[in-house]
Amino acid sequence: MSKRYFGTDGIRGLVGDSPITPDFMLKLGWASGRVFSRESAEDGRCLVIIGKDTRVSGYMFESALEAGLVAAGVDVKLLGPMPTPAVALMTRTQNAEAGIVISASHNPFYDNGIKFFGANGSKLPDEIEHAIEAELELELTTVQSRHIGKVLRVVDAAGRYIEFCKSTVPEGFSLRGLRIAVDCAHGATYHIAPSVLSELGAEVISMGVQPDGFNINEGVGSTDMSALSQLVTENDAHLGIAYDGDGDRVLLVDAAGELVDGDELVYIIAMHRLAAGTSDAGVVGTQMSNLGLELALRDVGLQLARAQVGDRYVKALMETNDWSLGGESSGHIICSDVTTTGDGIVASLQVLMALKAAGADLATLRSGMKKFPQVMINVTVGGKVDLADYPKIATAVAAVEQQLGERGRVLLRPSGTEPKVRVMVEGENAEEVQSLCAELAQEVEKVLA
């Protein structure tokens, strides 16, 4: 059964456009509060944690959600601006029934959204999201006054999360001697990441740490790495780290200012774990993970299992395979032996552990994986399509796959948010990949026109 409001990562959209409005958030708080109350222990009150990133509309939606939750009889703890993974952590450590994050992640300030975590610090299962949507169809009512929820602001949330991040590295681990440039995207990590790295001994050069409610992700963060690359080279830093607006993604640049993406970071962490004797049989990527990652892992006896695009699908396949490492090329990396969800700061510390253990620089660590050229073309279509209904497309794909052989890959994927089919071709020769992708996209467009 399809969902009306929830997408692959919560609810997101333009502020002021339905459903990203104050009245909807009030109703959402109430509806989710009723569902979480049913899930909580019968002998205790239900508690929900709320955190947010730094965009200006967060104040408005925090108040609306808070009002809806307490009207449903739920107690609330407010964390203020905190990374998404910190909300997941606090949900677990505070024995809350759920956590809510007000964030549109890497989007501009004029977007916002809501993400939910369950009591275990993981994203909500589909059945809970369906239950919340069912409650949204009902008329809002308020519990009796004696049962109205209470609200408490957690004043030391940042300090608690900083200590957690530091606890994910071995005792005595030190970054002393490293000069690290850090870009916090004027987002939720602005008061967290520099402290974590400096308290572990690094010399930290910070940018993107002056949020004003409007500048989140604007020319900074993991969606725009150019400023960080320049900061690294101008300051002779050993490497640079960039987080996105809500801190669940991370990308790096090496000392030359060259991008190190999520696939390469997963490779570096996997190689470190293999050398340390703590590796699983493989790691989880997505349909979009570079073929170079798959081949590099195969060369050392590790598997790459591909999930659908989206961190919830990565996490689900990790659980199915009983593997502890997975991620996406966008930098959403999950280390489930350390924490329950994608965490940019934790992932960056895993990479720094690998760097220190190997006694090598970032460029050297990434060199064991050869990225294959990858080209994607978006083909606009009239609406939702099932590609299985078009045998001519299957024939065209098979022809391209035969030409590429085992050293290439084709992926056709209808977009989940736009009326487009994404045509991706990957292979060793950049010119060949570009040509084949253009030809295949043209064929798809002709068949679906």
With contact defined as beta carbons under 8 Å apart, do 294 and 267 qualify? no
With contact defined as beta carbons under 8 Å apart, do 308 and 266 qualify? no
With contact defined as beta carbons under 8 Å apart, do 89 and 168 qualify? no
- At 373 the three-state DSSP class reads coil
Query: Dihedral angle at the C-alpha atoms of 345, 350, 355, 356, nearest 10 degrees?
Result: 100
105 is catalytic: yes
CA distance 411 to 423: 6
CA distance 133 to 113: 16
Active-site residue, selected from the candidate residues 103, 105, 222, 329: 105
Q: Give the strand pairing for 75-81 and 98-102.
A: unpaired
Strand partners, 153: 78
Tokens 């300090």 belong to residue: 159
Q: At what angle do helices 84-93 and 157-167 cross, to 10 degrees?
A: 90
Contacts of 49 (CB under 8 A, 6+ apart): 76, 77, 79, 87, 90, 91, 94, 96, 98, 99, 100
- How crowded is residue 357: how many other Cβ atoms within 10 Å of its Cβ? 14
Contacts of 156 (CB under 8 A, 6+ apart): none
With contact defined as beta carbons under 8 Å apart, do 375 and 428 qualify? no
Tell me which residue of 216, 226, 269 sits closest to 246, measured CA to CA. Answer: 216
Tokens 């930098």 belong to residue: 331
- How crowded is residue 170: how many other Cβ atoms within 10 Å of its Cβ? 7
- How crowded is residue 400: how many other Cβ atoms within 10 Å of its Cβ? 20
Distance set, CA 391 to CA 397, 415, 421 (Å): 10, 20, 16
Contacts of 401 (CB under 8 A, 6+ apart): 408, 409, 410
DSSP 101-138: EE--TTS-TTEEEEEEEETTSSBPPHHHHHHHHHHHTS
Active-site amino acid positions? 105
